[in-house]
Amino acid sequence: MKFKLPTFFKKNKAEEPEPVDPAVLAEQKARLEASKKGRKNARAQAKKEAEERKKAEKENPSSKASRGTNFYDSFSNRRQGGSFWWVIAAVALYFIDIFVTGFKGFEYSSFVNTFYFSREGFAPYVGFFTNIFVIGIILGYILLKKRNIREAFSFFVLVEGMWLILAMNREFNIGAVLHLVFGVCVLIWVLYYSIEDRVHVNYLFVFFLFCDFFLFSALEIWFSNIPFISSIKLLVPVWFLVALLFARDSGWKSFLWFVVIMFYVLSYFTLGGAEISGVKMDTITGEDKTSALKVVTEAWENLKESVTSSVTSFAEGQANATLGEYYTGDIDRKARERLGVYIEDLQGADTEFYEDQPVNIWATLVAKTLDEPIEVEIGCTVDGEVIEGVEIYPKEVFDVESFEEEGIECSFEPGLLIEGYHEISMNAKFNFLTMAYIKTYFMDPERRRALMREGIDPLENYGIVDRDPRAVYTNGPIMIGLDVGKPPLSADKDFRLGTTLTNWWDGEIQKVTDFYIVTPNEMELEKNAEGVYSCRGKRNYIFDSSSCSEIGEEEKGCDDKIHNVFKIESDAIEIREIENYETILCRLYVQDQSDLLGEVPLVTKYLKVVAKYDYNIHEEIGIQVKGGDGVRTVFAERECTRVCIDDDGCLCPDGCEILKGQHIYKDMTCGGIEGGEVDVATTPPVDVDGGEIEDVQEDLFAVEGCGGNEDWTTECKLACNPSQHDGIFCFEKKWTCTTDANEDENLYYPLALCKPGEWGDIT
């Protein structure tokens, strides 16, 4: 019996290939021959052009063939084929700079000093540029493959630039080595691949090297008056931008470019007010990191703010269209002049100070009001905190009648600001008034309904041009928006008056002190269940009747005979700290339709709102306070009793050195110790408070100080040193051993005057 294998185990016979049409084979062969011939012709043509270019260079060195293409053409026609991994590597190098090496480039002064002529003449520089190692590399580059003069010279500049960086890195800064190695890798595998003209590549690479190693230090010197300049190295990572520029096109590249551009655009608004200190060093410092982080943070805040404001504007528009809970207005064309209080041109004596130096900042205060005088209160804070001892010139409070422009100054005494970075804010607090009004139309309800049934616009029927009036408000820190609904309003119904107070400036609305609503006397606010005038919103607002004289509007058309005035009761409800806006919704009703309309079918009426509020504006400036400046303060004769506040110490006329926080006490010297060191006897004593004085012996009156009298307490003997203290004095019914009694004679009294029964005479 034969065993049959399954079919799938059987070996299939090789299928015979289908016959090919000879005409097709001939056509394919002809195409192949043509392709080979084309490539051969192309190579021959390229070789011919190269020979012609060389010939032109020899005959006319200034020809375009000798010069090559211009840089713009080379850069525009670059190939974007760099791997995206170079971008990631550049980011890694950036974080290594921040957290590991702290590399920030070389000081520009070191770069300049390299080219200063020395007493030896040109010899040191000739030796530097003709170093055998450098010359060997350049000759090898030229001889390995014949190069034209342009390319050879550009390569010479490139090698000399790298040699300069290596020569300046005497301390073998690992950060400098990493940057140079990374740059060379980018040159070989990115730049040479992307740009065909090597001359342009070599010069471009030298430019990138200069930016990475020297440019930012130079900017710190050239533009030292710009506070944030020390942090620009962290904000402009050179190799990251280069790698991103030459990376191949992709979605990630487009996204990163968008992020970078948005960051710099938003940072533009940050840098104007972000006064950030700088430390001119070749390593990244804590202040630099803080400065860069501050710019990044504020740029992010700007982005969020711009997005938020856009969303808010959209939401406000929707609310205005549907809910009617946010209302806007237009500035009064007759009152477009700049009203309010402004702080302009804030600046400091410097961006860096020492602890033993006074710190002074100044600005120009500009204030303008329409009618009522305003009071402006000036203040200065440090890092958001109020500091005692700040002097404000020429005064802290200004009364502005109509227009005022005054130079103001904040002065901090030496030692008032500790070492470190500080943000000083100059503030101006003032009470201001903003008014707004809106026009609307009222119509007989029956006639209104009849026209609308016929499809006729009532306002158009009566020739009204301004059919959608907007609120008009005076210029100032806040915008007052008003809305009463779509006109014409029916004279027999109540209607809603919506008022929005919007913080229009960058300051803070600290408190709304007064808020008035002025209506025609035919209208009145609705009352709540308790029978009081009220409005709704973020809180329940209680109103009371008022008068035109209280607003001060009686001379501007406000007449109690034809107007009703309602004032918010600030004692019951306070409107405080409006961050963005606050809306107040009130319902009004017409008391008598016939009084409102009279004999006409349609009337025009105005509603007015007046707000008085405390507003605070501020401008900030950043400064850096450093420790000692290496110079001791020299005291004049008899000044050594002052406490030394200089980090480097103070020097008395007799050669005595005093440390910070110490001073030579009354009737004392340096103690005769050579070298001028302060001895133990001059260390600061402490004022000692004792117990209450009850029975003072007569024989103690003649005793000076504590010394030599055993009847006095042991504590006093140990604590009071006659050579340092002025003696024992009476202060607030207690004895005290003090050093400043002579300075405060109105507070301290000799012990002999501290008699029982006479405390009432001594305070």
User: Is 670 in contact with 664 (CB distance < 8 Å)?
Assistant: yes
Residue 7: exposed, middle, or buried by beta-carbon count in 10 A (0-12, 13-18, 19+)? Answer: exposed
pLDDT of residue 290: 47
First to last CA, the chain: 138
pLDDT single digits (tens) 269-284: 444 433 333 333 344 4
pLDDT single digits (tens) 99-133: 777 776 776 555 555 554 444 444 444 455 555 55
pLDDT single digits (tens) 304-318: 454 444 444 443 443
Average pLDDT of the chain is 70
pLDDT band at 328 (very low <50, low <70, confident <90, very high): low
pLDDT of residue 370: 64
CA 138, CA 154: separation in Å to the nearest integer?
A: 10
What are the sequence ranges of the domains in the chain? Answer: 85-293, 330-412+422-620, 629-684, 688-761
Ranges assigned E (strand) in 507-666: 508-520, 523-525, 533-537, 541-546, 563-568, 575-578, 581-590, 602-626, 633-634, 650-651, 657-658
Quick check: 360 pLDDT over 60? Answer: yes
Quick check: 739 pLDDT over 60? Answer: no
Residue 684: exposed, middle, or buried by beta-carbon count in 10 A (0-12, 13-18, 19+)? Answer: exposed
When comparing pLDDT for 221 and 443, which is higher?
443
pLDDT of residue 695: 36
Mean pLDDT, range 75-93, rounded to an integer: 71
pLDDT of residue 50: 61
pLDDT of residue 705: 39
Quick check: 464 pLDDT over 50? Answer: yes
pTM of the model: 0.46
Q: Which is nearest to 415 in space by CA: 474, 479, 353, 460?
A: 353
Of 51-55, 498-502, 721-725, highest mean pLDDT? 498-502
Q: Which is nearest to 141 in space by CA: 130, 127, 154, 155?
A: 155
Quick check: 617 pLDDT over 70? Answer: yes
DSSP summary character for residue 12: P
Q: In sequence order, which residues have a C-beta less than 8 Å from that of residue 74 and are 6 or more positions away?
A: 195, 196, 197, 200
CA 320, CA 484: separation in Å to the nearest integer?
A: 11
Spatial strand order in the sheet of 391-393: 340-348, 359-368, 403-412, 391-393
Residue 656: how many CB atoms within 10 A of its CB? Answer: 22
